[in-house]
Amino acid sequence: MKPVDLMRAVVPVFPPSESKLVREGYLNGERSPGHLFCLPSEFFMLFDVDNDGLISFKEHIFFVTLLSIQESSFSAAFRMFDKDNDGEIDKEEFKKVMQSMRSHTRQGVQHRDGRRTGLRANASVENGGLMEYLFGKDGNGRLTHDKFVRFIRDLHDEIVRLEFAHYDYKSRKTIPAKDFAHSIVASADLSHLGRLLERVDELSNDPRFRDVRITFDEFKNFAELRKKLSPFSSGIFSFAEVQGLLTRDDFQRAASHVCGLSLSDNVVEIVFHLFDANEDGNLSTEEFVSVLQHRERDIAQPVETGIMGFLSCCWKFAHCHHTSAGVQFNDICFRKIPVTTDFHRS
């Protein structure tokens, strides 16, 4: 797998509107749609855990596990293992945390030891290059809570960077309104996707959007909104229930006051174009939140949610520690593929 494949494993994308590509990927015997551009990602090469220049299936599983981690859940587990309360844990303790976290993702449950049919992993998923990054070459370093939280945040930021670069086909540091809209709706439920894609296509012929371009900062701010979807959705649902509608100004105010995020007028106009189908100035909050939730759920790939899932996870942490004292991604064949950072445009 290439670094960009890791991003696409959890983030569905459409072909950039400024390219001539018809679709992503092709089957044997089909005409190649050409090389897609992807920025080099030294960060993602940390997942080349055996340092052979390849990203394997078991390494992908570890990647998915990291993406599934919520900061609050990791903080609770971290404190359970941090017996002396010095804000640090060692490598073996961290591996136990990750093993348990992995058991609560869909792919982790299906491939508990990092194996697939016909494929064997001779080493733990929680070994290799990333461990060296976090604990040093000798593995004797200790990991602080703040360092790991920064790492997780950087991981999510890298995915956003690669997704934006995918749509920034001509390296203009901006993307067309249509591509931003594709990014928003790409994870929508199939029962709604067709209608939403029709709304996306309308952007090309609407003079209000024809020349609109979205910057990386605008793109990243909207990505941050998805991460803070729970408080944001609570705010807009409550307001809409009382007021009977949610206008553009209300939407921007909620993002600012509830999430501390500034959404540009262009971003808000695109959102309302997609989710205000009858054009009455009132956002369809249920559909909007559902689409964003679908994407975040697919990234996390949980198998248990809510307090019972979290308590079950905590029990496993404690039990493991006690006994140790004694675009939604379709399956593909994860063969080991040479990783390069020499990508060219078609």
> What is the 3-class SS of 307-327, one letter each residue?
HHHHHHHHHHHHHHHHHHCCC
Helix (H) or strand (E) holding 60: helix 57-68
Burial bucket for residue 340 (CB in 10 Å: 0-12, 13-18, 19+): exposed
Q: What is the DSSP string of 123-179?
A: S-TT-SHHHHHHH-TTS---EEHHHHHHHHHHHHHHHHHHHHHHH-TT--SEEEHHH
Q: Check if the beta carbon of residue 258 is closer than 8 Å to that of residue 235.
A: yes
From CA 232, how far away is CA 234, in angstroms rounded?
A: 5
Q: Check if the beta carbon of residue 236 is closer than 8 Å to that of residue 268.
A: no
The predicted pLDDT at position 326 comes to 37
Write a three-state SS string for 122-137.
Answer: CCCCCCCHHHHHHHCC
Residues near 223 by beta carbon (within 8 Å), at least 6 away in sequence: 156, 160
Question: How crowded is residue 109: how many other Cβ atoms within 10 Å of its Cβ?
Answer: 13
* Encoded tokens for 329: 């991604």
Which residue type, as a one-letter code, is found at position 294? H
Give the pLDDT of the chain (346 residues) as one tens digit per residue.
Answer: 666 676 777 788 888 999 876 544 433 333 333 344 455 567 777 776 666 666 677 777 777 777 777 777 778 878 888 888 888 999 888 888 777 776 665 554 554 444 444 444 444 555 556 787 888 888 899 999 888 888 888 888 988 998 999 899 999 999 999 999 999 999 888 888 999 999 999 999 999 998 999 999 999 999 999 989 999 999 999 888 888 889 999 999 999 999 999 999 999 999 999 999 788 888 999 999 999 888 777 665 544 443 334 334 444 444 444 443 333 333 333 333 333 333 333 3
Burial 281-315 (b: 16+ CB within 10 A, else e): ebbbbebbbebbebbeebbbbeeeeeeeebeebee
- Measured between alpha carbons, how far is residue 281 from residues 243, 244, 247, 250, 321 in Å? 13, 12, 6, 11, 55
From CA 48, how far away is CA 64, in angstroms rounded?
A: 14
The predicted pLDDT at position 69 comes to 74
The domain segmentation of the chain, as residue ranges, is 3-24+35-155+300-338, 174-298
- Measured between alpha carbons, how far is residue 15 from residues 31, 112, 197 in Å? 16, 33, 13
The predicted pLDDT at position 119 comes to 44
Closest CA to 244 of 207, 213, 208, 281: 281
Q: Check if the beta carbon of residue 59 is closer than 8 Å to that of residue 111.
A: no
Helix (H) or strand (E) holding 250: helix 248-259
Q: Strand 143-144 and strand 337-338: pairing?
A: unpaired
Helix (H) or strand (E) holding 89: strand 88-89
Tell whether pTM > 0.85: no
Closest CA to 37 of 205, 139, 171: 171
